[in-house]
Structure 1
Amino acid sequence: MRKSVDAILRWAIIAIFTVLVACVVWQVASRFIFGVPSTVTDELARFLFMWVALIGGAYTLGQGRHLAIDLLPMLLTGTRKLLLELLILALIMAFAGLVMIYGGTSLVLKTLASGQMTPSLQIPMGYVYGAIPFSGAVMIFYCLTFAGDLLSGKATETDTVSAGPLS
């Protein structure tokens, strides 16, 4: 299941980033070559950047390539290290659940209820903010799979939350 989620996210990030680059290139061309800046691609690029950053952050967590200060986990071994790794996962899940899913969903629903639309694209602003709870859900998915690997003994001493992906 995790490999499927990895593949889907990887291709989604590639697709979003490709469209983002095309928007920025068109924005530069329309501004400097044609003298008429494109407001649609400017707005679309901003929103795509939000999506690629949030999804990319979740994907990076899943690959174990996120920024981490791993001094303490490197000093510990055995049960203490396992408990610390589980605590780290619990804190990440708490943040993702409370801030990203709960807060993000609240933001999406309030924005959709208010009827706020984007200026150029005229799409509901709630769709733009949908990246927040989506990324939070992906982060929780990865944390749960990592916790399962830790508890089942599938993770080795070097495959920890702070050292890299759990395979």
Structure 2
Amino acid sequence: MVNTINRLLCKLITVLTSAMLAVMVLVAVWQVVSRYVFNDPSTFSQEFLRYSLIWITMIGGALAFHTKKHIAVEMVVNRFSVRFQKAVRYLVLVLLILFSALVMIYGGIWLVSLTMSQQTVSLGIPMGYIYLSLPISGVLILWFCIAELLNAGAGTPNDFDQTLDV
């Protein structure tokens, strides 16, 4: 069941971030055309691109964590015994659970509630929607950490070199 949820989440995140990237490309092209062809720069495009990049980075970061495509320095840990490596991986997962729960989710919800009354300059949407990417990615990372602990995958690194089928 956990693996099924993980596969669905991976597909959902991949589709969502890919669609957001496609929209970003279109908006960036519109920004260039409106500025250099029509001599009338778009007022919303730069802000939209900035906030979309934040969302793609945060949500994509959760996917990168799950698929082990993030930066990890394991050179020191790999020099020790398998038992020590397993203990370190469990410790790292527990620390990531604490970080994602306290900083990303709790702190993110606090930040969202604090900034919901502020509006962006060009788009006119509440800033809380921009910061909402933090607790959402925190929930995803928390889920992926717990799923890895449930699957007892902390002892050996998972092989995620295959591409995701969407």
- Give the share of equivalent positions with the same residue, in percent: 33
The DSSP-based 3-state class of the residue aligned with 1:39 is coil
Write out the 4+ residue segments of structure 1 that deviate beyond 6 Å after TM superposition.
none
Secondary structure of 2:44's counterpart equals helix
Write 1 or 2 for the structure with the bigger share of helix. 1
Q: What TM-score results when the alignment is normalised by the length of structure 2?
A: 0.87
1:48 to 2:52 alignment: yes
Task: Give 1:158 shift.
Answer: 4.5
Q: Deviations over 1:78-122 (max 9, x none)?
A: 33222110111112222212211111110000111xx21111111
Instruction: Tell me the equivalent position of 2:147.
Output: 145
Counterparts of 1:1-167 in structure 2, within 5 Å, are 1-112=5-116, 115-150=117-152, 157-159=156-158, 164-165=159-160
CA distance 1:58–1:42, change in 2 (3 Å):
same
Relative distance call for 1:125 and 1:158 in structure 2 (3 A) is closer
Deviation at 1:73, TM superposition (A): 2.8
Q: RMSD over aligned Cα, in angstroms?
A: 1.8
Query: Where do 5+ consecutive residues of structure 1 fail to align?
Result: none
**Superposed displacement of residue 76, structure 1:** 2.9
Residue 157 of structure 1 deviates from its aligned partner by: 3.7
1:108-157 CA-partner distances (Å, limit 9, x unpaired): 00111xx211111111111111001101110111111111222xxx6774
Partner AA of 2:147 in structure 1: T
Aligned-partner Cα distance in 1 for 2:137–2:155: 27
- CA deviation string 1:23-73 (max 9, x = no partner): 111111111111111111121111101100111111100111110100133
